[in-house]
């Protein structure tokens, strides 16, 4: 199946700094990618839909100026957490759909996640 990678797999940063997380579709192109956040023992919460070549669509309650998304190419989306604070510490996961093959199943492929800890 299709593979989605994320980098870094974990990162520790100081409060007030910015952190960039990359999401790549390795063997397929994705016009749309999704970013999720997951707190311990909770389900995934959709943050935003990343659209190649256009602005991201953010879910209600997600600050677009804090979580900057850039989908610069058909295989790369980045999420930048700006001015990070301890409450931003979470597990961030991206996903993408291989529109060539998932057709009927609408299967989405998820990255392995990035653990962000803000001290």
Partner 1 sequence: SQKIEQNSEALNIQEGKTATLTCNYTNYSPAYLQWYRQDPGRGPVFLLLIRENEKEKRKERLKVTFDTTLKQSLFHITASQPADSATYLCAPLGTGFQKLVFGTGTRLLVSP
Are 111 and 93 in contact by the 8 Å Cβ rule? The answer is yes
| The binder of partner 1 chosen from 75, 77, 78, 95 (CB under 8 A) | 95
| The binder of partner 1 chosen from 115, 117, 118, 119 (CB under 8 A) | 115
Burial class (CB in 10 A: 0-12, 13-18, 19+), 31: middle
Q: Which is nearer to partner 1, 14 or 54 (CB)?
A: 54
Q: Residues 29 to 48: which contact partner 1 by CB under 8 A?
A: 32, 34, 42-44, 46
Task: Please name which of 113, 82, 83 lies closest in space to residue 95, comparing C-alpha atoms.
Answer: 113
Spatial CB neighbours of 1, under 8 Å, sequence gap ≥ 6: 107, 109
Residue 16 sits in the site that holds partner 1 (CB under 8 A): no
How far is CA 65 from its chain centroid?
15
Residue 104 sits in the site that holds partner 1 (CB under 8 A): yes
Residue 7 sits in the site that holds partner 1 (CB under 8 A): no
Closest CB 64 distance from partner 1, rounded Å: 16
Residue 54 sits in the site that holds partner 1 (CB under 8 A): no
């Amino acid at each position: 199946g299709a593979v989605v990678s994320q980098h870094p797999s974990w990162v520790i940063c100081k409060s007030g700094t910015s952190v960039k997380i990359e999401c790549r579709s390795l063997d397929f192109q994705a016009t749309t990618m999704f970013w999720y956040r997951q707190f311990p023992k909770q389900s995934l919460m959709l943050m935003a839909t990343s659209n190649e070549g256009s602005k991201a669509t953010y879910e209600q309650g997600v600050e677009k100026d804090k979580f900057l998304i850039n989908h610069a190419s058909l295989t790369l989306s980045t999420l930048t957490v700006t001015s990070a604070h301890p409450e931003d510490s979470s597990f961030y996961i991206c996903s993408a759909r291989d529109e060539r093959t998932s057709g009927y199943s609408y299967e989405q492929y998820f990255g392995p996640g990035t653990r962000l800890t803000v001290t």
